[in-house]
Copies of this chain bind each other. A is one copy, B any other.
């Protein structure tokens, strides 16, 4: 089979326009994807290192994106009949010890609170007060199955209380040795849904409902195409019976797990004592689920839509969808420009896009118009509108669509449009930008999954190795046989991502064992 090279993953059309364009970032995706990622985060003012190990500061533009994600996701969660609640940050060690697989999976990377007071030592330096040592250490929650399970055991008495569906928006901590902003930080923000059901079928339906909610959210809201499927046994959540994920393809071809949904069986219910009396008076254990998405999705958005000029923010999650930049010159024309801009602002704010009022910012900050323009380009505002004295005179505006930043010539793609026409089209333009970003990412994903791979090593090693994903057939071995496959893939820096729900049925031999295959599994490098 012919080997194809890295070029198969095309980050973004603008990359093809090559050296003629001086881009806004100092490093391109092609030159150093990892450095480019950090540069986008810095230049788009999304986040920064905090000086606290493994913890980041999420800056207003980055947090604004998270607020948009929360708003839309929260509505979907509530529509599914799930109620929000809030559970403790701290989990006593004894709660954690109840579910053996769970604690094995998490014990190695948790923040442990051991004292509740500081005291000055003999040199006047503050130290944990030995008199204030906790009898039982507290764990800062890495996830909340145990403490929410304890609450569910109090709340569930009878079949009438089922299904019980709660969600919390919270911070969690998993101690990480190597951190990367948004993708892997010691503290991160997420939502975690937890549900209890009368039987396996109802719990499994909920597990798959949450997975589908995540798939449609990623695709429709983040404009990030994903593959939904079941994780292989070795990638399951600690203590779960089955784990499902959505996997997105970044512009370097690596996979990003962007959301997971777990069917937990009765293991957690047994550990926490979540039992109910059924209609016949008998007592049964509940079947539970949990599902989560996090600020990691923002990393996915950056690596899906970013280009060499910064972030391109999908309109549905852009804190400001349209930014108006008045070109002020500290002279007598400024007042007329500002009046013109304010009228534009209020007319745009009266519009709806995606069923919500359009989010518009008139940027009256102290910086120069040129600085503002490139600031918003780097932040990825979907539409940037510039207004100068000639625009006011002519009744025009100069419009930049962030997803079409350059003309073919390499010149900035700024279009003069009559103000009224711009307003009339604005909502449709936002919807077109959303659709275009999705289509571009979808095309990249579809073009970079190979279904004809028979020799993984030949494809995935060497300088010109394939950087996309392979969908291969396998026999779904377990135990030691699976471990050997995992090791074999690890040598190629590969992992199994998931077994896509919508894959074709198996019709051939397992690529690993030669036995008859039972399903298809996606393989690729990962974050």
Contacts and interface: CB of A to CB of B under 8 A. Distances in A.
Interface of A: 48, 50-52, 55-60, 63-64, 66-67, 83-93, 95-97, 103, 107-119, 126-128, 137-140, 147, 150-151, 154, 160, 166, 170-171, 173, 175, 187, 189, 365-367
Contacts of A154: 48
A123 to B, nearest CB: 12
A85 B56 CA distance: 11
A118 B113 contact: no
B112 A128 contact: yes
22 contacts: A48-B151, A48-B154, A52-B147, A56-B88, A57-B151, A58-B85, A59-B85, A63-B83, A63-B84, A64-B84, A89-B187, A93-B118, A103-B126, A107-B117, A109-B117, A110-B117, A111-B138, A112-B113, A112-B117, A112-B118, A113-B114, A115-B137
B117 A114 contact: no
B88 A126 contact: no
Contacts of A52: 88, 90-92, 138, 147
Contacts of A117: 107-110, 112, 175
Contacts of A107: 117-119, 126
Given A60-B166, A117-B175, A140-B140, 14 more contacts: A52-B88, A52-B90, A52-B91, A52-B92, A56-B88, A57-B85, A64-B83, A64-B84, A89-B187, A90-B187, A107-B117, A109-B117, A111-B138, A112-B114
Smallest CB-CB A-B distances: 4 pairs: A55-B88, A60-B83, A58-B86, A112-B115
A164 to B, nearest CB: 10
A110 B111 CA distance: 15
A366 B116 contact: no
A58 B86 CA distance: 5
A194 to B, nearest CB: 12
Contacts of A87: 50, 57-58
Among A58, A114, A160, max chain B CB count under 10 A is at A114
